[in-house]
Amino acid sequence: MAVFVDFIILTAKVFGYILHSVLQWVKKPSEKKVTNEICLITGTASATGIGRLFALEFARRGATLVLWDIDPEGNETTAREVRKLGAKAYVYTCDVSQKEEVYSAAENTRRDVGDVTILVNNAGVVAGKPILQCPDELLERTMRTNCHAHFWTVKAFLPQMIKKGHGHIVTIAGSLGLFAAGCVEDYCASKFAVVGFHEALSHELKAKRIDGVKTTLVCPFFIDTGMFCGCKIRQELEALVPPLHPSQCVKAAMQGILRDQHLICIPKVIYLAAISKNLLPWDVQVLIQKFLGLDTCIPQKEDVHY
């Protein structure tokens, strides 16, 4: 009897989730306000990376930015761009692969700015060499930066989010955290690990009924940031599917983050391949784009510059 009751309850919950998803697909949830939120983003110095673009998007929405990166000069450039938009920006030089530096920078951030309410773990590196040709120190650097750093930053800022019942943790992983590719074993392993970490963290918060702290996992396809230049697997994939432009990736991710979406996968690869190769008339592309809810993931016709 107990098994039958559990089955009925499970079935009702499944149909409830399906109905909820259908309703959200029909009527998109509104975006939350981040004005005066303290948003910390790691890996914000690169001129071609998505960390800087995330900072600018949050700045446009009135958030206070805390920028962490190992490159002080590039990080300060990002801060200047943020301030031009009228937002406050605080810059800290921090190697997130070193837990002592993370905890020290976190303490300085709390003292100078306040408690972080939005944490975007974006910093990442790749060795880009086959495992048998890759020095151990590069493998270790990838794992510390792409995975271990998430442990340190979450441990530093999650307690106050839980205490206040308010916060948002964003994990920038990638499609290579969902499927493997050759020649980038270090990167795939680190991203698989961080996807597992994020999912476990999300389940833990849900099990403890900590509803005020949201989590979002972002898994984009290859982004044209220069990170994988010369990578054989990228060259093979680009023959079919071009990389994402950083701005379109961030725009799509921001929409999901501000709607408290749990998982953001960018893009629908087969559809993008058809569009990028002009296999479909543009009017048909637009119709499919709107039907699949990809209108924020695909550049407009005049902006296509893969």
| Placement of tokens 């109905």 in the chain | 19
pLDDT, residue 274, reads 45
284 part of a folded domain: no
214 part of a folded domain: yes
**CB neighbours of 249 closer than 8 A, spacing ≥ 6?**
50, 220, 223, 266
pLDDT, residue 227, reads 60
Helix (H, G, I), strand (E, B) or coil at 168: strand
Q: Identify the domain containing residue 219 by its residue range.
A: 32-269
Low-confidence ranges of the chain (pLDDT < 50): 268-271, 273-280, 289, 292-306
Q: What is the CATH number of the domain that holds 137?
A: 3.40.50.720
136 part of a folded domain: yes
Which of 37, 40, 75 has the alpha carbon at shortest distance from 170? 40
Q: Cβ of 162: how many Cβ atoms within 10 Å?
A: 15
Q: Cβ of 20: how many Cβ atoms within 10 Å?
A: 10
**Cα within 13 Å of Cα(35), Cβ side:** 2
pLDDT, residue 230, reads 52
Catalytic residue at 187?
yes
Catalytic residue among 90, 187, 271, 306: 187
124 part of a folded domain: yes
233 part of a folded domain: yes
304 part of a folded domain: no
pLDDT, residue 243, reads 65
pTM, two decimal places: 0.78
pLDDT, residue 17, reads 66
**Number of structural domains, the chain?**
1
Which of left, alpha, beta for 168 (phi over 0: left; psi -120 to 50: alpha)?
Answer: beta
239 part of a folded domain: yes
158 part of a folded domain: yes
